[in-house]
Amino acid sequence: MNGAIVATLSAIAMIVVCFASLPAEADAAITVEDGLGNSFTFDSPVDKVIAIGVGPTATVIGVGAVDKIVVSDNYSYTNKDPIFDGLRERVDAGEVLAGGNIYSSGKAQLKTDIVFSSDPETGTFDREADAVIVTGSDTYRNNIVPDLEELGFKYVLQWYDIHDYEKIVEFAETVSKVCTGKVVAAVDEMSIIPEFIEGKVQDAGVDIVDAFYVTYSSNTFKVCNYGSLAASMIEAACGNVITKDSAKSGTTYEANITSIVEAHEGCIIFVDNTIHSSEANLQKLKGAVGGHATLIDLKPIWNNYCIESVDGVWHMACAMYPDLFEGDVPEEDDGKSDNLLLYAAAGIIAVAAIAIVAVVFLKR
């Protein structure tokens, strides 16, 4: 009988051990796909990252991996957004190189920085295990990618262009998996926020707000069209984009702002940095609007391949539906606390089961 007791208690003890080990994530291969459809498999999260571009750099920082960056670009270093403060400190301390960029003027220095950081004698980046993340047109990416391939860089993840907010989420998920081995809560938040906004708007039964995005180039105002990331973000914030026109080519097109506002008085206009950073351009826009629409400034980093885009969507929702939304983006619980409670409860139940079985056998 003592042998049966020992066997039973041992079996239950094994169950307890299994429950206790659940929170620890087992190492597993990480398979992701970049924006060109190339598939990559990593044995584990990378130790180091080369992030080329403001969006990639901000997203690596946003998933909590700023300490893994060894090379960035001078546009990220000089960007005034607070998300880059930690990067600037690391560059100033000599821990990150950020002297070049993907464009013609900076490609030589960028290659120099990358080679230095990936040389076993001078750097810590492993060309056969760590990741390069780069975005840009074929022309600009070709300023550096062929050189990396020739030098034996195994993991060069590329994105050409993203016109849809959902694609931004997919981009951030890929970066998160490569850098951390999982999709972090901040990235989960990116996909959940549009659903949250839509649910609140539908529950409130309010009318969908008319809105559009305006930028300035070639001495004229241009508005968002099909294929515009800004238009997609407005829609993710539950707005009705009134400037989408299939008869117009391009993601933005020249338009008469006054005529648009007259047809949709009271609409919301989301204003690009090219306008609100220039007093002359801003006054010109205000004159065209004539006080019949609300102007809302956008941070330049929001309209990018960037984890920060969710802040832009939330900002848009707060502007269009001030009675429903305000303050900072609601934080998404990463579920760790719930999991810990679940595992703890399971452990308690298992221990109780051991005690019950022991008492039964002892009585027998």
**pTM of the entire predicted model:** 0.83
- Residue with the larger pLDDT of the pair 97 and 344: 97
pLDDT band of residue 161 (cuts 50, 70, 90) is: confident
Lowest-pLDDT range of 145-149, 194-198, 226-230, 359-363: 359-363
pLDDT of 9 strictly over 70: no
Q: What is the CA radius of gyration of the chain?
A: 26
How many beta carbons lie within 10 A of that of residue 310, not counting itself? 27
Tell me the C-alpha distance between 364 and 355, whole Å: 14
Tell me the C-alpha distance between 125 and 182, whole Å: 21
Q: Specify the pLDDT at position 346.
A: 44
250-293 pLDDT, tens digit each: 999 999 999 999 999 999 999 999 999 999 999 999 999 999 99
Tell me the C-alpha distance between 37 and 32, whole Å: 9
Q: Specify the pLDDT at position 116.
A: 98
Q: Which residues pair with 216 in a beta bridge?
A: 221
CA dihedral of residues 208, 210, 215, 220 (deg, nearest 10): 170
Q: Is 296 helix (H, G, I), strand (E, B) or coil?
A: strand
pLDDT band of residue 334 (cuts 50, 70, 90) is: very low
- Residue with the larger pLDDT of the pair 358 and 227: 227
Tell me the C-alpha distance between 238 and 199, whole Å: 10
CA dihedral of residues 141, 144, 148, 153 (deg, nearest 10): -50
171-209 pLDDT, tens digit each: 999 999 999 999 999 999 999 999 999 999 999 999 999
Q: Specify the pLDDT at position 357.
A: 43
Q: Specify the pLDDT at position 333.
A: 54
What average pLDDT is seen over the chain? 88
18-73 pLDDT, tens digit each: 444 444 444 579 999 999 999 999 999 999 999 999 999 999 999 999 999 999 99
- Among candidates 181, 159, 156, 154, which has minimal Cα distance to 170? 159
Q: What share of the chain is helix, strand, coil (3-state, %, to 5)?
A: 50, 15, 35
Q: Is the CB of residue 159 less than 8 Å from the CB of residue 59? A: no
> What is the β-pairing status of strands 39-42 and 239-241?
unpaired
Lowest-pLDDT range of 89-98, 232-241, 301-310: 301-310
